[in-house]
Structure 1
Amino acid sequence: MKQACVFLLLAVVAGPLSAAEGMWTLDNLPRAALKERYDFTPDAQWVDHVMKASVRLASGCSGSFVSANGLVLTNAHCVLDCVQALSGPQSDYVNRGFIAHRREAERQCPSEELNQLEAISDVTERVRKATAGLSGQAFIDARNAETARIESECVGAAAATRRCDVVELYGGGLYHLYRYRRYADVRLVFAPEYRIGFFGGDPDNFNFPRYNLDMGLLRVYEDGKPATTPQFFPIRREGAAVGELVMVTGHPGNTKRQLTVAQLERLRDADLIDLLAYYSERRALLWQYGRQSAEAARQAQSDLTYTENSLKVIRGQLDALLEPALLAHKRMEEERLRQIAGALQPDPWAAIAQAQQVYRTLRRPYTLLENRRGFYSEHFRIARHLVRAAEERTKPNHERLPEYQDAALPRLQQTLLSPEPIYPAYEKTKLAWSLTKLREQLGVDDPLVKLVLGNESPEVLAAKLVDGTRLSDPAERRRLWEGGFEAISASTDPFIQLARAIDAPSRELRKRYESEVEAVENKQAATIARVRFAHDGMQVYPDATFTLRLSYGEVRGWQEDGRTIPPFTTFAGLFQRATGTDPFALPESWLKAQTRLDGQTPFNFVTTNDIIGGNSGSPIIDRAGRIVGLAFDGNIHSLGGSFWYDEARNRCVGVHSAAMIEALDKVYGAKALLRELVVQP
């Protein structure tokens, strides 16, 4: 690890990137590097096709169109929330799987939305002009107001089918407007059984060899009919050869490669430590709840899966920040920029460092209240949004909090009014635990704790809140949403009353964070970005922002402790790995199909593509724009990818195209889907 890290450090300090590093925006692709390394030059038509064929799941994943009739390929774990919402005690699609052999059997996901990028435009000067000379809360208010105006102008009267987001790049160095085609009618077509979609469970997560059919199929509809989607990726059954150029087009969520050393130290010493403790306890809570009964285990299954995944990510990020070579590299890069910048006043790095000290005094009450970590409850999430939306919607659009501006309301309304079931016993368990954490971390005598708990114990209060609420009923939520401020003010629902009671102190914490931390970081990061642009031009890609990016690489294994890790696994290896007990138990459908399956079919594989969370469900394509695989994970070394990239060992893990076709054919008998998928030899 140290040898690889030192090599990366020298490469970065020496000049332009030479490795297959980067999550590049489509309007600034590394054409020179692609030409030099792979003799590939993507033209405007190729880029437009990739942009229109790639999609984003608003819930946090990526995907792609794979037919002209709105069929979307993504991961099984990306459709898990939809599958869970459609399931019940008598229809456990999570564990039994789901397949629609006819269009009429496709079922609408209660709260999913898909976004197809249509255009990118630069709005930096508008935002910069609106915020010129401002700081603190005035800067935040002016920035939010101008982005609200830009997004509102972009959406216009097309809110039902258009989404527009102003995106900060380079920490505020640039602002780009992303205009999307919005698909709100998203239906489930296929999801495999949990045992094969998540085969290996937490022990195999972020590891390789892997044996997962982590694929799912959705379809977007318009006016009750499958949408027409002429831009799509055909599937290349045989996949890509070792060493062949492959690209990932997806929506990486968040990276921190351009943070200052002070910000990384805060992450290491404060945020990640807190999160590690939080998710460790949450995992134990959910695991214990699931032991009560099969139904309790079903209710907690998806939350436990996500919690275990988050916990592993946090551990990997913390391990990366504890590696001395990483911060040594960051300090050297920072010093390089300081020398280029000269005697800037105020010193942007010093200002950001001071803001981190302010954050440390705010972080516990801020995360517990404003980030709702002290209120782990679906009822409270709904109540918070209803209360805030009612107040914010009385204001002019440009004066609202960003999440309640007009451009964001269609998605918010969709999630709030979703008919997804809420389970009272599960809610009581989660809320009681999180209220205990609130009291534990702030102290019994803290005014906020007294305001929330009064004289009640967390367990008693949680029971009273859940037993007394009507927010489980979508009709009641719609009544409150449509009734606005008057309906919320008159509501006696205990969760609405709780959300109203803590709204003022929570808003005040948010205001302090935005004015004393976020505003400082944003303004000073923009200054640092201008220094970088002046010296390096656009040779540096921006940190990930859950917007469409392209990364390039090749199919390749790696060296681990003197061993060569081959880039492919096979179906035969899956059955050899299966033990019959979870998490290495196979579903009955696969056991029955074993003799029909070709054991030499490639199953999972690895590439050098630079990916991060949010890339789940991204297509892995060749230079002709054909799908050769489906990204679903990274190896354990990729967890440090939030902060830097190491081509020697960072790997993207994907489902091979041949595995998807073989499984749909010989395990699931999905003849109609296979006819619809354009499969190329």
Structure 2
Amino acid sequence: MRALLLLPLLFSSAQAADGMWPMDRLPIAPLTEHLGHAPTPVWIAKLQGAAVNLDGSSGSFVSPEGLVLTNHHVVSDCIDRLTSAQDDIATHGFVAGKRQDERPCPGQTARVLVGIDPVQIPAEGPARATALQKLEASCPKSEHCELVSLYGGAVQQRYRYLRFTDVRLVMAPETQAANFGGDDDNFAYPRFAFDFALLRIYHQGKPWKSPHWLRPAAKAPDLGDAVFVPGHPWRTERLLTLAQLQALRDAQMPTEIALAEHEQALLHRYARTGPEAARQALEPINALENGLKARRGELAALKDPEIWAAKAKEEALLRRRAESDEPWLRAEAAAKAQQRLIRELLLMRGPAGSALEDALALAALQMEGQRPSGQRLEAFDGAAVREWQEALAASRPFHPALELERLSGFIARAQAHLGASDPFVRALLAGHAEPQVAARHWLQNSQIGDATQRAAWTALPADRFATLSDPMIQLARSLHPLRRSVMAAYAREVTEPLRANADALARARWRVLGDGSPPDATGTLRLSFGRHAEVALGGVRQPWFTTLEGLWARADGFAGKPPFDLAPRLAALRKTLPGATVLNSINTADIIGGNSGSPAVNAQGDWVGVVFDGNLDSLAGRFAFDERGNRAVMVHRDAIRMALRQVYAGGHLAQEMGL
């Protein structure tokens, strides 16, 4: 594998510090102000090489032996897959005393960015398919390549990664310590959570010797100190037109919220049936509620009159000074199509992590694979095929009773929203009157929960796959043409026109505002920066850090009732742990979902904490950034050191990290 080499292009535009900046487009003036000197290629290469993409979330190398620091909630899926009634590491936590005790995370991958190359890919049509095939074919054998579109597609690049599939769990606190306060405290501040975890990346059976890794800061940060956050923010939409934002506000986001609320009620109802059911539903509930709270906050931001007025003012300025109004008119046409199609598209998606989602993916892989490359749905073409195959082959718990409830709920939702006469609903019901009876018909005698069987199905020739008698595969095969029709229409009327229009919109913006502004987040590596700062809550100043003593007080204030009950291990050590230990702290770095697990580093490039959340004001960050109230929340270095050395028998890990 080649060594990391990426020399950045530093923009000279004197932009504000807000923004999520690609590593080859860093803003020199604000960075120099925060660092106290111009950023050097060595400093940038260190942050880039230490940053790890964990299936859309973030982490960082913190030892030369492949040890990765991230969040507990980032590895919650791994924990769920490793947890059983007999070995409940979600409830009790986990620490590997020796390397041989580290547990492989099924399906987990990790990527490290090693290069960025400019490319030109047509927006649509056969030429696009040909160009994508060439991009994939030209990727170095030891690397994984991905097309990245910035500014909606006006700038296109090939990102080259080292990709690892042997990722092992090394340490994780119990869920109650990592997620203290539950959904009540999620996206809130003050916070009191030990939301961190450790993984180790292996290559060819040995720990990966990363050439870049982060050391802990020798000194804890002070109020006002600069902080830098390299991570993988998933998505922002700050550059969308008003018409596109309106489609999100009026159609897409309300539908997403309604569907999530239905699934939330279903999961909680199942969890109340008994302790084992509650254990099975814990990870799906936590993941769903995290996303649901974020979506509600984002929708509230789009309904905020001040934010909307600012967006309208900016667009009016751009359109007034543009050479033509055509780019906005084309965006409006695509947005109208989005409003018409998005509801049905969302209703046809299987619940995340469900057996139905697996079956639909299997059918899509096989049935799209019969088409020539370039005529397939993009989500099931090119490099995405291998990623789907690996994900489907990964082992994970299968709980028949939970799957029955989730599939029943999905059928009921589709029936309620699309109507009993809709072909999609008729296929789901299969002649049965009740969703639960239909769900039992499909799940009974299916092997969809067997990872070995799923892997075998992905490798079958298309003609043999078409003859499978497994009920869930038969269901998915009957649903795919119906789903494909809507997905293809969405690509044809929304995605492709917006991609083709991106260059004109971007150039109109650059003509008025300059070309030094950061692109929207795309799930790729970005650098954000800010300062450790206080925040006002309801007009009342809040300190920029919380302490262990504050955790005790918050638990006592709710009489230790869930979700404010202390993890038993912490409760037992309450009298011996130093109450003044800093637990969580906040800063003004611009972050969003996907930044979970990002290291927070000082000007020397040493880590001072790990980002795990934002406050409520940060939820507007999908569309706009306001430093007055937007805060990133991190687990402090001192809390991690105390936890490893005094709570979790992880002193050997603290020593490896230099803590």
Q: TM-score range by the shorter chain?
A: over 0.9
> Could you say which residue in structure 2 is the equivalent of 1:622?
602
Secondary structure at the counterpart of residue 116 of structure 2: strand
> Could you say which residue in structure 1 is the equivalent of 2:640?
660
Which of 328, 331, 347 aligns to 1:352? It is 331
The answer on 1:605 being equivalent to 2:566 is no
Cα distance between partner residues in 2 of 1:30 and 1:482? 47
Which of 516, 525, 544 aligns to 1:567? It is 544
Counterpart amino acid of 1:48?
A
> Could you say which residue in structure 2 is the equivalent of 1:165?
146
Cα distance between partner residues in 1 of 2:305 and 2:196? 38
The answer on 1:105 being equivalent to 2:98 is no
> Could you say which residue in structure 2 is the equivalent of 1:10?
none
Cα distance between partner residues in 2 of 1:368 and 1:561? 38
Contact 1:247 1:553 in 2 (8 A): yes
> Could you say which residue in structure 2 is the equivalent of 1:527?
504
Which of 385, 388, 393 aligns to 1:409? It is 385
Counterpart amino acid of 2:393?
L
Secondary structure at the counterpart of residue 644 of structure 1: coil
The answer on 1:592 being equivalent to 2:577 is no
The answer on 1:634 being equivalent to 2:614 is yes
> Could you say which residue in structure 2 is the equivalent of 1:175?
156
1:552 Cα deviation after fit? 0.7
Would the alpha carbon gap of residues 607 and 327 (structure 1) be closer, same or farther in structure 2, given more than 3 Å must change?
same
CA-to-aligned-CA distance 1:348-379 (integer Å, 9 cap, x gap): 1112112222222222222222x336xx6722
Secondary structure at the counterpart of residue 115 of structure 1: strand
Cα distance between partner residues in 1 of 2:220 and 2:376? 49
- Where in structure 1 are there 5+ consecutive unaligned residues? 1-14, 132-138
Cα distance between partner residues in 2 of 1:503 and 1:18? 47
The answer on 1:42 being equivalent to 2:18 is no
> Could you say which residue in structure 2 is the equivalent of 1:433?
409
Between 1:474-483 and 1:199-208, the stretch displaced more is 474-483
Q: What is the identity percentage for the equivalent residue pairs of Structure 1 and Structure 2?
A: 38
Correspondence 1:46-445 to 2 at 5 A: 46-58=43-55, 60-123=56-119, 126-127=120-121, 130-131=122-123, 139=124, 141-154=126-139, 156-158=140-142, 162-236=143-217, 238-344=219-325, 347-369=326-348, 371-372=349-350, 378-445=354-421
Cα distance between partner residues in 2 of 1:236 and 1:26? 22
Q: Which runs of 4+ in 1 moved over 6 A?
A: none
Correspondence 1:510-589 to 2 at 5 A: 510-578=487-555, 579-589=559-569
Secondary structure at the counterpart of residue 20 of structure 1: coil
Counterpart amino acid of 2:329?
A
Counterpart amino acid of 1:668?
Y
Contact 2:15 2:517 in 1 (8 A): no
Cα distance between partner residues in 2 of 1:326 and 1:218? 40
Higher helix share: 1
1:238 Cα deviation after fit? 3.8
Cα distance between partner residues in 1 of 2:640 and 2:299? 34
1:597 Cα deviation after fit? 1.7
Cα distance between partner residues in 2 of 1:450 and 1:34? 58
> Could you say which residue in structure 2 is the equivalent of 1:644?
624
1:71 Cα deviation after fit? 0.2
Secondary structure at the counterpart of residue 466 of structure 2: helix
> Could you say which residue in structure 2 is the equivalent of 1:26?
23
Counterpart amino acid of 1:233?
L
1:381 Cα deviation after fit? 1.8
Counterpart amino acid of 2:492?
S
Would the alpha carbon gap of residues 19 and 648 (structure 1) be closer, same or farther in structure 2, given more than 3 Å must change?
farther
Cα distance between partner residues in 2 of 1:88 and 1:292? 18
CA-to-aligned-CA distance 1:13-41 (integer Å, 9 cap, x gap): xx977643100001011111222455232
Contact 1:262 1:356 in 2 (8 A): yes
Cα distance between partner residues in 2 of 1:140 and 1:76? 42
1:168 Cα deviation after fit? 1.1
Cα distance between partner residues in 2 of 1:143 and 1:636? 40
Cα distance between partner residues in 2 of 1:354 and 1:405? 27
Would the alpha carbon gap of residues 114 and 271 (structure 1) be closer, same or farther in structure 2, given more than 3 Å must change?
same
Cα distance between partner residues in 2 of 1:617 and 1:519? 33
Contact 1:20 1:647 in 2 (8 A): no
> Could you say which residue in structure 1 is the equivalent of 2:461?
484
Counterpart amino acid of 2:260?
Y
> Could you say which residue in structure 1 is the equivalent of 2:428?
452
Counterpart amino acid of 1:435?
I
Secondary structure at the counterpart of residue 611 of structure 1: coil
Cα distance between partner residues in 1 of 2:167 and 2:286? 23
Counterpart amino acid of 1:608?
T
1:109 Cα deviation after fit? 0.2
Cα distance between partner residues in 2 of 1:636 and 1:503? 38
Would the alpha carbon gap of residues 272 and 472 (structure 1) be closer, same or farther in structure 2, given more than 3 Å must change?
same
> Could you say which residue in structure 2 is the equivalent of 1:9?
none
Would the alpha carbon gap of residues 423 and 441 (structure 1) be closer, same or farther in structure 2, given more than 3 Å must change?
same
CA-to-aligned-CA distance 1:428-485 (integer Å, 9 cap, x gap): 0001011001011011122322233232121111011111211222222222122231
Secondary structure at the counterpart of residue 384 of structure 1: helix
Cα distance between partner residues in 1 of 2:72 and 2:187? 16
CA-to-aligned-CA distance 1:159-215 (integer Å, 9 cap, x gap): xxx321101110111111111100100000011011110001111111111010000
Would the alpha carbon gap of residues 271 and 33 (structure 1) be closer, same or farther in structure 2, given more than 3 Å must change?
same
Secondary structure at the counterpart of residue 188 of structure 1: strand
- Where in structure 2 are there 5+ consecutive unaligned residues? 1-11
Cα distance between partner residues in 2 of 1:157 and 1:486? 31
Secondary structure at the counterpart of residue 192 of structure 2: coil
Contact 1:140 1:515 in 2 (8 A): no
Contact 1:152 1:406 in 2 (8 A): no
Cα distance between partner residues in 1 of 2:275 and 2:431? 35
> Could you say which residue in structure 2 is the equivalent of 1:494?
471
Cα distance between partner residues in 2 of 1:556 and 1:351? 42
- The number of aligned residues is 644
Would the alpha carbon gap of residues 377 and 311 (structure 1) be closer, same or farther in structure 2, given more than 3 Å must change?
closer
Between 1:387-396 and 1:228-237, the stretch displaced more is 387-396
Secondary structure at the counterpart of residue 422 of structure 1: coil
Would the alpha carbon gap of residues 445 and 522 (structure 1) be closer, same or farther in structure 2, given more than 3 Å must change?
same
Contact 1:377 1:427 in 2 (8 A): no
Would the alpha carbon gap of residues 637 and 140 (structure 1) be closer, same or farther in structure 2, given more than 3 Å must change?
farther
Contact 1:239 1:629 in 2 (8 A): no
1:401 Cα deviation after fit? 3.2
Cα distance between partner residues in 1 of 2:461 and 2:369? 8
Contact 1:596 1:666 in 2 (8 A): no
> Could you say which residue in structure 1 is the equivalent of 2:444?
467
Contact 1:465 1:495 in 2 (8 A): yes
Counterpart amino acid of 1:323?
D
TM-score, length of structure 2 as denominator length: 0.95
TM-score, length of structure 1 as denominator length: 0.92
Between 1:649-658 and 1:462-471, the stretch displaced more is 462-471
Pairwise CA RMSD of aligned residues? 1.8
1:669 Cα deviation after fit? 2.0
Contact 2:35 2:603 in 1 (8 A): no
Cα distance between partner residues in 1 of 2:118 and 2:202? 31
